[in-house]
């Protein structure tokens, strides 16, 4: 039986978002864009946003934001109105403890636990649920330290007895055992997957994998070209489980197209590790279609994030097609500009196609380029 996944959100949550960035941080993301995305994540988790604050710091603070900023916030009526605070980074266990002590009457959540929560809400298959539970437990383990209220807040459901070191040791042991069991179960599923892939590759059917940032339109594209009915919506992380469908190309060749989990900036490493069976699917693909929402103001940053995650999971594929989706959202001038830019772009020799799934623009041309690429390999 699949264990019930931990969910820490509820519909009435009024959240205040906070983000800190080191002045010397050379991250490609602007702090304002990052906190906007945090807001999208919070909305996906059904929270209501009542305010936000950002701070540039000289050095990392043990309370995430600096003391002065926290005092300022405590006097802010919008902040007082919130029952939950979400931080735009993964907090260290120490930061988590300290900020909880500072803001005693508020629930403190970090970006990682918010993403884990959305994953928990959206995990449907047995494998997906095991993977999310593994990531949740990995995240929880170093945080099982001393603070009983913290445990309750995480809804660990691990024990209801009073505080004390012994209890924490017990919880750690139980969590470790659970992690081991989850890993074992997942390894079994991973072996099954490997066998399925082997059968597929023996049958000689090329595999096309759809990858990209969350909400780029991967599932929409799969649905359009194969008639699949994978959930597509403007929420983040709609898809967690891979779905594979057949497609016949004009040449008569049959291919298998796989839709899979999307990526995001600051994707928690616990999730990357836990989803390794899912991500393995990408490694087996003959062609990667990297779907990009070109209408998003952070399209360039999002593209870099996807490249970084691919590097992290050690995927080096030369057979890639960059697919710029949602061109219907660009005005004529922007479209012409984009076309010119692509024509003159010498920095990449990757094939790039402009499409709109919504308006069915450029789809035949994209499928033709898959056909051509397969002829040449």
Ligand X SMILES: Nc1nc2c(ncn2[C@@H]2O[C@H](COP(=O)(O)OP(=O)(O)OP(=O)(O)O)[C@@H](O)[C@H]2O)c(=O)[nH]1
Binding positions for ligand X, rule: CB under 6 A:
212, 214-220, 232-234, 236-239, 262, 325-326, 328-329, 356-358
Least CB distance to ligand X at residue 36 (A)? 17
Least CB distance to Mg ion at residue 129 (A)? 17
Q: Which residue has the tokens 């024509």?
A: 343
Q: Is 238 in the site for Mg ion (CB under 5 A)?
A: yes
Least CB distance to Mg ion at residue 313 (A)? 18
Nearer to Mg ion by C-beta: 111 or 218?
218
H-helix or E-strand spanning residue 83: none
Least CB distance to ligand X at residue 231 (A)? 7
Nearer to ligand X by C-beta: 320 or 325?
325
From the list 230-238, 312-320, 339-347, 360-368, the region that binds Mg ion by CB under 5 A is 230-238
99 touches, from ligand X, Mg ion, none (C-beta below 5 to 8 Å by class): none
Strands (E) across the chain are located at 14-22, 48-57, 84-87, 107-110, 207-212, 243-248, 254-259, 287-293, 320-325, 351-354
Phi, psi of 119 (to 5 degrees): -60, -40
How many angstroms separate the CA atoms of 308 and 290, rounded?
A: 13
Q: Is 239 in the site for Mg ion (CB under 5 A)?
A: yes
Nearer to ligand X by C-beta: 8 or 215?
215
Residue nearest to ligand X (CB): 262
Least CB distance to ligand X at residue 327 (A)? 7
Q: How many residues does the chain have?
A: 377
Answer whether 357's CB lies under 8 Å from 221's CB.
yes
Half-sphere CA count of 314, side-chain side, radius 13 A? 3
Answer whether 221's CB lies under 8 Å from 321's CB.
no
| Interface residue with Mg ion, options 55, 219, 260, 352 (CB under 5 A) | 219
Answer whether 362's CB lies under 8 Å from 327's CB.
yes
Q: Is 215 in the site for Mg ion (CB under 5 A)?
A: no
């Amino acid at each position: 039986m699949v264990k019930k996944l931990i969910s820490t959100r509820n519909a009435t949550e009024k959240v205040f978002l906070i983000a800190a960035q080191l002045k010397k941080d050379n991250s490609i993301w602007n702090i304002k864009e990052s906190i906007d995305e945090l807001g999208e994540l919070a909305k996906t988790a059904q929270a209501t946003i009542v305010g936000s604050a950002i701070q540039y710091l000289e050095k990392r603070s043990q309370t995430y934001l600096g003391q002065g900023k926290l005092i300022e916030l405590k006097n802010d009526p919008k902040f007082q109105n919130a029952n939950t605070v979400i931080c735009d980074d993964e907090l260290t266990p120490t930061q988590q403890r300290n900020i909880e002590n500072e803001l005693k009457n508020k629930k403190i959540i970090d970006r990682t636990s918010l993403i884990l929560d959305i994953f928990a809400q959206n995990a449907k298959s047995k494998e997906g649920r095991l993977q999310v539970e593994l990531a949740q437990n990995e995240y929880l383990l170093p945080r099982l330290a001393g603070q009983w209220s913290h445990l309750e807040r995480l809804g660990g459901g691990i024990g209801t007895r009073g505080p004390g070191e012994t209890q924490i040791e017990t919880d750690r042991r139980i969590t470790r055992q659970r992690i081991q069991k989850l890993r074992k179960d997942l390894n079994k599923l991973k072996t099954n997957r490997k066998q399925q892939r082997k059968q597929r590759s023996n049958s000689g059917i090329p595999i096309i994998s759809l990858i990209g940032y969350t909400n780029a339109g991967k599932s929409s594209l799969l649905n359009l070209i194969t008639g699949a009915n994978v959930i597509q919506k403007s929420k983040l992380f709609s898809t967690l489980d891979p779905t594979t469908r057949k497609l016949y190309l004009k040449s008569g060749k049959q291919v298998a197209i796989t839709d899979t989990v999307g990526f995001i900036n600051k994707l928690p490493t616990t999730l990357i590790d836990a989803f390794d069976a899912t991500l393995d699917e990408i490694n087996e693909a003959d062609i990667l279609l990297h779907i990009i929402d070109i209408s998003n103001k952070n399209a360039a940053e999002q593209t870099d994030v996807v490249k970084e995650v691919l590097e992290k999971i050690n995927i080096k594929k030369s057979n890639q097609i960059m697919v710029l989706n949602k061109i219907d959202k660009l005005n004529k001038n922007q479209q012409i500009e984009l076309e010119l830019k692509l024509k003159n772009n010498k920095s990449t020799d990757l094939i790039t196609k402009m499409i709109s799934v919504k308006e069915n623009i450029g789809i035949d041309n994209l499928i033709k380029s898959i056909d051509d690429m397969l002829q040449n390999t």
